[in-house]
């Protein structure tokens, strides 16, 4: 059984042995730094078990122990939220007017739009969004819980279909641009039918992070 212990009062954090965690915590738009103060356990049990995590407002210069807040928030610091919107619209095709619907799913990262897609079924939207959140936590080589995750995306080495490629641009909502790496151009995709025309750009491709033709973690 551990002993609960609070940090000493009014001490500069720089004088204590602490570890800064690369977790992107925001509260009311303000960035917070999460730290681990080994041995200073404030709670026991829950998702962090022996919990010696604290945080402080990054707007505070030269923070002291008095500025620390006990942390028991989201794992990784980031708040993920899913919004599913059902929309109705007028469709006019071949002089036939009808009311149609589509589903827009938006994944928010710390209250900012991170990824969006459209489909025709709200249950499918929820399942795909849940799966995507599992993938970014467990399968992508990018640390999406880091404050600097966008810097990790640019320059990432991948395979696109059969060709080594590199991510050269990252846009909002999970859109990326990739270019061949070591090849003059992309090869014709193997999944196209022989009589199907490929309308892609041989020198770069605009796609999304969850493109099923992307293989991550290319080492060379």
| 46-82 tens-digit pLDDT | 788 889 999 999 999 999 999 999 999 999 999 999 9
Cα(217)–Cα(102) distance, integer angstroms: 34
For residue 4, is it within any domain? Answer: no
DSSP state of 199: -
Task: Assess if residue 3 is contained within a domain.
Answer: no
Q: Does residue 64 sit in the same domain as residue 84?
A: no
In a domain, residue 188? The reply is yes
- Is 50 within a domain? yes
Tell me which residue range forms the domain holding 61: 13-70
Pairing verdict, β 30-37 and 43-44: unpaired
Mean pLDDT of the chain: 89
Last residue of a domain, one of 117, 138, 159: 138
Verify that 34 and 66 share a domain, yes or no: yes
Q: Is residue 220 part of a domain?
A: no
| pLDDT exceeds 60 at position 119 | yes
CB 69 within 8 A of CB 62: no
pLDDT score at 198 = 63
pLDDT of amino acid 103: 94
Indicate if the pLDDT at residue 19 is higher than 90: yes
Judge contact between 183 and 163, C-beta under 8 A: yes
75 occurs within a structural domain: no
Give domain status of residue 144, yes or no.
Answer: no
Among 49, 70, 91, identify where a domain stops: 70
Q: Is the pLDDT of residue 113 over 80?
A: yes
End-of-domain residue from the set 30, 45, 70: 70
What residue spans of the chain are helical by DSSP H? Answer: 122-138, 149-153
């Amino acid at each position: 059984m551990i002993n609960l212990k609070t940090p000493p009062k009014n001490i500069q954090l720089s004088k204590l042995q602490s570890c800064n965690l690369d977790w992107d915590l925001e509260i009311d738009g303000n960035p917070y730094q999460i730290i681990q103060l080994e041995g200073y356990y404030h709670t026991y049990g829950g998702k962090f078990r022996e919990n010696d995590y604290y945080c402080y407002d990054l707007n505070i210069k030269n923070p002291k122990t008095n500025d620390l807040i006990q942390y028991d928030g989201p794992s990784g610091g980031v708040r993920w939220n899913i919004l599913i919107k059902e929309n109705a619209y007028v469709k006019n095709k071949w002089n036939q007017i009808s009311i149609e619907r589509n589903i827009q799913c938006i994944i928010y990262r710390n209250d900012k739009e991170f990824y969006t897609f459209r489909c025709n079924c709200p249950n499918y939207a929820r399942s795909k969004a849940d799966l995507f959140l599992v993938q970014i936590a467990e399968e992508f080589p990018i640390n999406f819980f880091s404050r600097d995750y966008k810097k990790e995306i640019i320059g990432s080495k991948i395979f696109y279909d059969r060709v080594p490629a590199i991510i050269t641009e990252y846009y909002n909502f999970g859109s990326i641009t990739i270019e061949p790496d070591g090849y003059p151009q992309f090869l014709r995709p193997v999944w196209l039918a022989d009589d199907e025309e490929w309308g892609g750009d041989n020198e770069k491709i605009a796609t999304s992070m969850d493109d099923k033709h992307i293989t991550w973690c290319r080492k060379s």
